[in-house]
Structure 1
Amino acid sequence: MSATGEVVTSASALAVAGETLMLLPEKAVYWPARQMLIIADIHFGKAASFRAQGMPVPSGTTTENLAGLDDLIERHGARHVMFLGDFLHARAAHASSTQQAMLAWRHTRQELQLTLVRGNHDKHAGDPAAALGIELVDEPHTVGPFAFCHHPDLDMDNDAGYALAGHVHPAWVLATRYDALRLPCFVVGSQRMILPSFGSFTGGHVVTREAGDAIYVTSGEAVHAIR
């Protein structure tokens, strides 16, 4: 990585819309002023959906995703989690095993505020179980200077705020003469930021840098600004 950019540690911050946001190596954003953890595209139940179609994919991704959430909540003292769409992958995500794991997790986090900005997969999968106590909103959902969205290209009023979105699952290719590596990335522009997919079984889409965009890749241990 040494030739591709400078390291931005998990403790470093980015100034966005007059606020401080932390780009986390774990593919999430933390907004300290609101004690808010921002998560895009967690896709609960995706593996279960594939298995329901007879595809031999690994189990345990729901547990892995919940453990990842727990780690970030504890480490940063988050009191609010904002999900930027695609909370559930498909109707098969309502399977008993997936729901029981999520409800058991929620029981341990009863004081935590949860908000879901509905994404395209949520519309097909249906809303999460009411027992999860999640506030359900449509995009754009405005809090302070930010417009929380699922789609980064959402046509909205300029006064709605700086958009934080997901949907794309952005990734960036780091290439040398002999090898290449694809890593999840944050795409930071003047009017919107696209977060990488948080889910452990979601893949990524290689993006190209548009004029004015800054790219920050994550290795899982540190965030690197690509120059």
Structure 2
Amino acid sequence: MSACEIELAGERVLLLAQKALYWPRERLLAVADIHFGKAASFRALGVPVPAGTTAENLAALDALLAAHDVAHIVFLGDFLHARAAHAAATVRAMLAWRARHPAPRLTLVRGNHDLRAGDPSALLAMRVVDEPYTIAPFSFCHHPDLPAPGHVLAGHVHPAYRLASGRDSVRLPCFLSGAARTILPSFGAFTGGHGVRPEAGERVYVVAGDAVLFVGKLAAGT
């Protein structure tokens, strides 16, 4: 899969087609809105949704760790969707993944779903913090509009952008990046997307299959 290299706050970062961000200087991978346990929560309510999303999410993390030199993974909130994510089978799968990857530091910046679901198992050896969590020049957050000392990297919105050509259109997950913040697409396999309209000066990078493509920058005053 290809990546799109951009500069944020004077730092070189990669926007990855797997819907994550990699900061090479710190060997840091940022992942937003993985929502472990969301499908299980729906099934518990009698909604017929596919199983296997936990395994799919963990396999996607496996692929990222195989492709990049990662020393630190920062989850930008909503790691767990609800208390159903504490089910024994889900926890076993997470612990098996952690056993395969014991070296990287894990940090979770609590999101709104994490506050309801509770912190992940202590056996994951994951540091859990409140937003903003700052490693200059970036502030890692869940909510993109939170006041923070650095350039905000956040999730929460699950941004998607509609590309249109004549009568045809498609909505794709996207990175939305401006002077003060960059919003990552949701990483989880069962999370959906929310259509966004860029603000003045914001750049849109859509995830299209195996590529991240620059769509454009909204001019001030438009």
2:63 equivalent to 1:71: yes
Letter in 2 for 1:50: F
2:128 equivalent to 1:136: yes
Deviation at 1:10, TM superposition (A): 2.7
Deviation at 1:220, TM superposition (A): 2.6
Q: In structure 1, how many angstroms separate the alpha carbons of the residues matched to 2:62 and 2:5? A: 21
2:160 equivalent to 1:171: yes
1:220 aligns with 209
Pairs within 5 Å for 1:112-131: 112-131=104-123
Given the two structures, how large is their TM-score scaled by the length of structure 2?
Answer: 0.95
Letter in 2 for 1:207: V
Letter in 2 for 1:40: A
Question: Deviations along 1:110-152, whole A, 9 cap, x unmatched?
Answer: 1111000000000000000000110001100001200000000
Deviation at 1:109, TM superposition (A): 1.0
Q: In structure 2, how many angstroms separate the alpha carbons of the residues matched to 1:182 and 1:200? A: 16
Question: Deviations along 1:151-181, whole A, 9 cap, x unmatched?
Answer: 001134xxx1100000000000001112110
Pairs within 5 Å for 1:51-66: 51-66=43-58
1:6 aligns with none
Secondary structure of the residue aligned to 1:13 is strand
- Structure 1 unaligned regions, length at least 5: 1-8
Q: In structure 2, how many angstroms separate the alpha carbons of the residues matched to 1:80 and 1:201? A: 24
Q: In structure 1, how many angstroms separate the alpha carbons of the residues matched to 2:73 and 2:7? A: 20
1:38 aligns with 30
Q: In structure 2, how many angstroms separate the alpha carbons of the residues matched to 1:129 and 1:191? A: 33
CA contact (8 A) 1:45 1:88 kept: yes
Deviation at 1:80, TM superposition (A): 1.0
1:16 aligns with 8
Question: Deviations along 1:37-86, whole A, 9 cap, x unmatched?
Answer: 11000000110111111111111000000000010111012121110000
Question: Deviations along 1:186-218, whole A, 9 cap, x unmatched?
Answer: 000000000000001000000001001000001
- Structure 2 unaligned regions, length at least 5: 217-222
Q: In structure 2, how many angstroms separate the alpha carbons of the residues matched to 1:57 and 1:171? A: 22
Secondary structure of the residue aligned to 2:147 is coil
2:86 aligns with 94
Deviation at 1:11, TM superposition (A): 4.4
1:206 alignment partner, one of 195, 198, 215: 195
Runs (4+) off by over 2 Å: 9-12
CA contact (8 A) 2:3 2:212 kept: no
CA contact (8 A) 1:173 1:206 kept: yes
CA contact (8 A) 1:10 1:22 kept: no
2:150 aligns with 161
Q: How many residues align?
A: 216
Secondary structure of the residue aligned to 2:163 is strand
Q: In structure 1, how many angstroms separate the alpha carbons of the residues matched to 2:68 and 2:209? A: 17
Letter in 1 for 2:123: A
Q: In structure 2, how many angstroms separate the alpha carbons of the residues matched to 1:162 and 1:178? A: 38
Percent identity over the alignment?
60
2:178 aligns with 189
Q: In structure 1, how many angstroms separate the alpha carbons of the residues matched to 2:138 and 2:154? A: 10
